[in-house]
Amino acid sequence: MTYLDRLVDEFVNYLIVEKGLAKNTIESYSRDLVLYLEFLKENRVQKPTEADTPLILEHLISLRDSGLSAKSRARHLVTLRVFYQFLVNDNLLKTNPARLIELPKGGLKLPDVLPVEEVLRLLETPDTTKPIGKRDSAMLELLYAAGLRVSELIAIPVQYVNLEAGFVRVMGKGSKERIVPIGETARQKTDLYLKDVRHLFLKGKESRYLFITRSGTPMTRQAFWKLLKRYAVAAGITRRITPHTLRHSFASHLLEGGADLRSVQLMLGHADITTTQIYTHVAQSQLKIIHTKYHPRG
């Protein structure tokens, strides 16, 4: 009997003796676990104790992409939570990596994300030979580069963008401030907008906001949504897209590229206490390295 066979047998015995689960539930858990172990093998992970939260997330995303329903994915996540807790109880692991993944009511709903190629096509759509295109290009790049909420994007003051250092200060939910790297492409396009366009829109007026309309007023959520939808159509993206789609894509693409989950969560600025408890202190310089290394536009 191999190590994995023995582990599965011990887990099933744990479900019967300690959890007292019904036969059908145990069979479902067993199928879920076998499917997960096959995924680990395909990814050259020899032992489940070597897997981490991003890899579990990748597995759940692969299940979604294969057509598995949200309800079935939720059950699958429950299986992995119970399995990893079994490993913790046996002192094979210190913490349960599956517990870091939230299980919403009504089933596991993974956010919709765009493939990298679709995002890049969208970002290249604005006509940067025109002032409005330069502004729109900078807004789209910054939204994706920093994983911003649309409310955060339109509220950024000019002085909160440090193009030389490559960071943007963001005021998130609950007035929580965070500093996020933005990458070279976003730096260049924002700099071009600031140098060539913003003063034209202001027409001698003043504004504390980075992004403004052609009349010099602050950009609104509704106006940005409209321009995003227009560019999505022009880019040939047929699925429904919102500003939050780019935020989800930002996180997903970083994780798929190999970034660690804690750094991504820190860049996103999640405020939920169950999420913030798993944060570790990451220096700004390290965040910049992670962003540059793993972000498609870094």
Whether 248 is catalytic: no
Whether 41 is catalytic: no
Is it the case that residue 282 has pLDDT exceeding 60?
A: no
Same domain? 255 vs 143: yes
Same domain? 204 vs 274: yes
Reported confidence tier of residue 287, pLDDT bands at 50, 70, 90: low
Q: How far apart are CA 202 and CA 206, in angstroms?
A: 6
Same domain? 166 vs 42: no
Average pLDDT value for the chain: 84
Same domain? 18 vs 148: no
In a domain? residue 284: yes
Q: How far apart are CA 46 and CA 245, in angstroms?
A: 34
Same domain? 183 vs 60: no
In a domain? residue 143: yes
Is it the case that residue 2 has pLDDT exceeding 90?
A: no
- Phi, psi values for residue 83, rounded to 5°: -60, -45
Give me the pLDDT at residue 106, please: 54
Reported confidence tier of residue 274, pLDDT bands at 50, 70, 90: very low
Same domain? 96 vs 125: no
Whether 149 is catalytic: yes
Whether 270 is catalytic: yes
Q: Among the options 59, 76, 189, 247, which is catalytic?
A: 247
Q: Among the options 31, 47, 279, 293, which is catalytic?
A: 279
Same domain? 157 vs 267: yes
Q: What's 44's domain CATH number?
A: 1.10.150.130
In a domain? residue 75: yes
In a domain? residue 111: no
Q: Residue 138: give the domain boundaries.
A: 116-294
Q: How far apart are CA 190 and CA 142, in angstroms?
A: 8
Same domain? 123 vs 28: no
86-139 residue pLDDT tens: 999 888 888 898 887 876 555 545 557 788 899 999 999 999 999 999 999 999
Name which of 53-62, 130-139, 223-232 the model is least confident about: 53-62
Same domain? 198 vs 257: yes
The last residue of a domain, from among 71, 100, 129: 100
Q: Apex CA 45: angle with CA 44 and CA 49, to 5°? A: 175
Whether 173 is catalytic: yes
Q: How far apart are CA 25 and CA 112, in angstroms?
A: 29
In a domain? residue 107: no
Is it the case that residue 272 has pLDDT exceeding 60?
A: no
- When divided into structural domains, the chain yields a total of 2
Whether 244 is catalytic: yes
Q: What's 243's domain CATH number?
A: 1.10.443.10
Q: Among the options 121, 169, 244, 262, which is catalytic?
A: 244
The last residue of a domain, from among 46, 74, 100: 100
